[in-house]
Amino acid sequence: MNKIMLIGRLTRDPEIRYSTNDNNTAIARYTLAVNRPFRKNGEQQADFLPCIAFGKTAEFAEKYLAKGMRVAVEGRIQTGSYTVNADLKM
């Protein structure tokens, strides 16, 4: 099971684009700042998590969400992958 729930604040307004395929799916991107539950040296720290929404959810984000708003996000985590070229020389 891959499910996550986050509560945080938007660092900027959602940026929306539309896919170039036949159905022109809306794609919204935004960053969520989530406070950590503990403080280091008395200072609050946050993690900045990039989020992507698709379709009706993306259109909702564009219409109703704005920088600084506190929002709850439910979804799944998906990480990218990369390949290391062992022949790199410095």
All domains of the chain, ordered by start, with CATH?
A: 4-38+52-74 (2.40.50.140)
Confidence (pTM): 0.78
- Residue type at 61? A
57 vs 1, more confident: 57
Confirm if 61 and 16 have CB atoms less than 8 A apart: yes
Residue 90 has which token pair? Answer: 């410095």
Q: What is the DSSP string of 73-87?
A: EEE----------TT
* β-bridge partners, 49: 32
The more confident residue out of 28 and 22 is 28
Q: What is the pLDDT of residues 42-85, one digit of tens each?
A: 888 999 999 999 999 999 999 999 999 999 999 998 887 655 55
Q: What pLDDT shows up at residue 43?
A: 86
